Amino acid sequence: MLPGLVGAQAFAELPVAAEDVVTRGDFIRAAVQVLGVSVTQSTDATDLPYQRVAQGLVPYVRAAHDKGALTMFGRDLLLARPITRGFALRIVASLTNAVGDPTTDFEDVEDGTPDARAVSVAIDKGWMHPIRDGYFGFRRILKGDEATTLLAKVSGRTPGTQVKTTKPKDDVTTQPIPTISVNFRGVSKDGMDIPKARILETIWQVINDEFLYTDRILPDEAAYKAAEAIVQSLKDPYTSFLRPVNINSLETQINGQVTGIGAQVEMRNNILTIVTPLRSSPAEKAGLLPNDEILKADGVSLSGLDFIQAVEKVRGEKGTKVTLTIRRNSREFDVTVVRDTIKVPEVEITWQGEVAIIAVLQFGKVTETELRPALVKVMEQNPKGIILDLRNNPGGLLHAASIMISNFVPKGSGVAQILARDGERTDVTEESPTIDADVPLVVLVNQGSASASEIVAGSLQDLARAKIVGTKTFGKGTVQQVLRFNDDSGLKITVAEWKTPKGRKIDGVGVMPDIVVEYSSERDEQMLRALELLR
């Protein structure tokens, strides 16, 4: 059984240490029981809009769903993943019908959102307190002692008192990702000891007892280095240990915002090149232009770095400055840019006559929630054709890719074959299309189209719904999930490989367009060919 809250003794005898993390499934069950939400005993999940709900959790998931408490999770609840402080608050706020002020003073909580309302309720009622001034800790993993205290306060009981609830017989989860407590001496799921744990502990003890230069003994740095070494031994380019600053960057990007200069960039001839500065961004205000090449950041050469490494050198905290060495038309000069929080325009819709051009820059939360309504409006204008521009789209959320595909094909159409440790499944679309089947579709791709972009292109190609135009895609056919730990570090880990609905392998191969057209900076030949096909 994965560590977490068990509803049977939510306050009296929490079956995990105070520092252990709590899973989504166990928190949902405990919250429903402790707060006295009405539960039906049916374990039939066919009426629920979620994937892979363990039989024993179905009554509690249904009760929480009926209260609107699970809207932030999407179609796949991932019940074995750790629950964050913020999502726990949103659940209990919904279960108790509590409504808060939509404005907050916390940098990690966006005003006007359900997140902000839940945090306001928690502060007003004393359910939970911020980590520090100006920072609530919304995305921090909830620990056992915090979960116990939270449910006690919400229910009006004193922490530590017995609450009589019934533990279900079926306590099995079907989720593939284990929740792991963050400590260097512990034991992971199913009793698998950390390799050479005694040797590692002995080395650390000797260092603390004997090493001469005590000022060089840095516990956090040592732990992070060890974690990085463990992950690097897997030799998987997409599995990585994320230090706090890196996981924050990843999460904010997926949520539709980043902190940096505000420019869409790509690697051209191994040089980080600006495709376009975003509107009203620091990059635009500093006078940066399309096709500017970024050679250095604060004097550090970007030569030899991969795309992610180079981008991280340019990004940084809001309000900080970065001096970029720019090459423009063979002339080199320095530009200083003040970084800011940038709203990533995931979807941009323009028109060329009667042809709608839908440019998707990444598959994040914005695409997941706002794309379908936008395409309904596109269809209302009776387009002669649609161009879906996925060039230089690095991917993002698998569910967002599924939503994209659902706009163009019948409900139940294949999205991808997913191969994971717990078996193989085929994901299918869950919504009816917004675009009529007789509206022709062209998808633009290039070597910068990766991951979720390739899922969309590969699926629409297999289903014969679109013509794919451009150059072969990147070839990233694996799925990653992110675990966030109590100290704000995290683990991005490969958990599955996907293939197209017809079983074509993408990882290391890519999607080959139906019509190969090379890009020209003088004229966008790829776009012109797409328009030609639709006119």
Distance between CA atoms of residues 323 and 332, nearest Å: 13
* Nearest CA among 125, 100, 97 for reference residue 112: 100
- Chain mean position to CA 64: 23
Instruction: Reduce the secondary structure of 18-64 to three states and give it as a string.
Output: CCCECEHHHHHHHHHHHCCCCCCCCCCCCCCCCECCCHHHHHHHHHH
Secondary structure (3-state) at 371: helix
The token pair that represents 374 in the structure block: 């936008």
Q: From the centroid of its chain, how far is CA 136?
A: 20
Residues in the chain, overall count = 535
Residue 484 CA to residue 490 CA, distance in Å, equals: 4
From the candidates 143, 313, 365, 476, give the one annotated as an active-site residue: 476
Q: Is 44 a catalytic residue?
A: no
Q: Are 385 and 355 in contact (CB under 8 A)?
A: yes
What is 448-472 written as a DSSP string? T--THHHHHHHHHHHTT--EEEES-
Instruction: Please answer whether residues 263 and 281 qualify as being in contact, where contact means their C-beta atoms are separated by less than 8 angstroms.
Output: yes
* Residue 150 near residue 144, CB atoms below 8 Å: no
Residue 463's nearest CA partner among 508, 426, 491, 494 is 426
Given 402, 406, 451, 489, the catalytic residue:
451
DSSP-assigned letter for residue 194: P
Active site residue 330: no
- In DSSP terms, 491 is beta-bridged to 241, 483
d(CA 96, CA 124): 14
| Distances from the Cα of 261 to the Cα of 120, 197, 299, 312, angstroms | 31, 43, 17, 11
Instruction: Find all residues with CB under 8 Å of 144, minimum gap 6, and list them.
Output: 4, 5, 14, 16, 17, 18, 19, 20, 21, 22
476 is catalytic: yes
* SS3 state of residue 363: strand
Alpha-carbon distances, residue 200 vs 192, 209, 232, 526 (angstroms): 16, 14, 17, 55
> Residue 205, exposed/middle/buried by CB under 10 A (0-12, 13-18, 19+)?
exposed
d(CA 5, CA 60): 13
Q: Which of 462, 467, 489, 499 is catalytic?
A: 462
CB 273 within 8 A of CB 293: yes
Catalytic residues: 451, 462, 476
